[in-house]
Structure 1
Amino acid sequence: MRSRHRLFTSGSEDAVMAMTQLAKLDLRPGDEVVLPSFGGEEAADAVAAAGGVPVFADIDPASFCLSPAAAESALTSRSVGVLALHLFGHPADMVSLEELCQRRSVRLVESERPLSSVFSPDVVLRRRNAEYLASRLRGVFPPSVRPGADHTFERFVVRVPGNGRPDRDAFRNALRSRGVDCSVPVGTPAHRLPAHRAAGARLPETDRAAAECLALSLQPAMSRRELNRVASACNRLGGLLCEPAC
């Protein structure tokens, strides 16, 4: 079993750290690294810059993180590693990925997620607000949490029901017009970008998530009144937008 390293993948400074960590993997031309396309643009760029070949695998639709089963299907005789990203505060399934990498004799690389953040006061409050908001949402599908996982809800990402990107974008614009802060968390998955499109990956869950997902503003200091306002806006709009597709 090759050694396991951590990889930082958000923001310019983290991209530099990613290059440093990938250098430890001693990538040679043609060496493949399996990673998620959803939220993985910087990581894929770092793999390519280090001399490796990014190979995209699909995500688990509940956590938005790399699917261990999809990662295994993407492994070939040229694979030297699997790169896992902990997305939106939800950890990847490291137990399953660790077992996979041990069994297939490849390295496991993960994005940094300090354990201390799980117990910080801000995270405790954010998690409490996330649970409250999720319990009141009816017009959209709230985030899922894998049993036993510590979701820090760095971003509160929901799925908008309907016909994909057009309905999601209309929903976003309608929320913003009502003063509700929201944004698209992943505009274009890495495998759809010109730099990586030649890989030819077909990732249905990744494409569906990119078309349906919307990040709602969630701060530790938000009051119950503010959370109820967000939920009410989503519920009213969600019901209207869902009707044509239901």
Structure 2
Amino acid sequence: MLRAAGVGRGDEVVVPAFGNVEVAGAVVLAGAQPVFADVDPLTYCLDPDAVEAVVTARTAAVVVVHRFGRPAEVGRLREAGRRHGVLVLEQGESETPHDEIAQRRERAAFLDGRLRGVRTPDGGVGHTYQQYVVRVPGNGRSDRDAFARALRSRAIECRAPVRTPSHRLPEFRQCVALPETERAVDETLALPVDASLTKRDMQHIVAACNALGGLMRVAS
């Protein structure tokens, strides 16, 4: 997409640093320079205000990435692109059958209504819950990782969706302030919502998270 749009050497392209290493890599392959902007703490997609803050005369494009099945604020980002004369491109997520999306949403709604002690995802219009990502309270990565280990000890599969943001990787290292990205990397945890989970499985997830979340609230 970047090459077809004429993006190349001497250009800058605004991208998220929260995951999506392949996006920054594609910018480099096109001969351009990736510029990282911060994410919105609710959607984990590019924050339109943060994007505008890093746009320069060399900015040729913005690559919008939809995260975890939650659509980005494309309307606001396109408005910003028009104001600055910058191309806005979208990277979608893999297509999922409608029945599978419906089952994920059903399980996500079950968790939304019962989880305590973790911050549940911002639903948003059109969320497909490719991942159900919560925030773990406490003191950042150490508490999130301890929470994850405790869940795994109870046979609950979970994982940190992003371990290292792109701007901290050797091949893209930049000295930029991305506070929401850093917090998201340290606090987020993806819980299972796949269609194979039974109601008993979902109740087990809720009971385990609520017990641990309650303890962590007291500790913090």
CA distance in 1, matches of 2:154, 2:130: 23
CA distance in 2, matches of 1:102, 1:194: 33
Equivalent residue of 1:22, what SS?
coil
What are the within-5 Å matches in structure 2 for residues 42-53 of structure 1? Answer: 42-53=22-33
Contact 1:33 1:81 in 2 (8 A): yes
- 1:61 pairs, out of 16, 37, 41, with 41
> Does residue 158 of structure 1 match 2:138?
no
Rate the CA distance shift 1:35–1:220 in 2: closer, same or farther, 3 A.
same
CA distance in 1, matches of 2:208, 2:87: 45
Contact 1:58 1:71 in 2 (8 A): yes
- 1:130 pairs, out of 108, 116, 126, with 108
> Does residue 75 of structure 1 match 2:55?
yes
Structure 1 stretches of at least 4 aligned residues deviating more than 3 Å after TM superposition: none
> Does residue 208 of structure 1 match 2:186?
no
Task: Read off the aligned partner of 1:123 and give its amino acid letter.
Answer: I
CA distance in 2, matches of 1:226, 1:178: 11
Aligned length: 220
> Does residue 110 of structure 1 match 2:86?
no
Partner residue of 2:199? 224
Task: Read off the aligned partner of 1:90 and give its amino acid letter.
Answer: R
Partner residue of 1:178? 154
Q: Deviations over 1:40-78 (max 9, x none)?
A: 211001101110100000000001111011011110010
CA distance in 1, matches of 2:132, 2:35: 28
Q: Deviations over 1:190-241 (max 9, x none)?
A: 01111111x2111000000000000011112322221111011000011112
Task: Read off the aligned partner of 1:22 and give its amino acid letter.
Answer: L
**Structure 1: runs of 5+ lacking an equivalent:** 1-20
- 1:36 pairs, out of 16, 38, 58, with 16
Q: TM-score, normalised on structure 2? A: 0.96
CA distance in 1, matches of 2:62, 2:28: 14
Identical positions, percent = 45
CA distance in 1, matches of 2:146, 2:77: 37
State the shift of 1:113 in Å. 4.2
Partner residue of 1:242? 217
Equivalent residue of 1:124, what SS?
helix
Over aligned residues, Cα RMSD in angstroms?
Answer: 1.3
Partner residue of 1:193? 169
- 1:100 pairs, out of 80, 85, 88, with 80
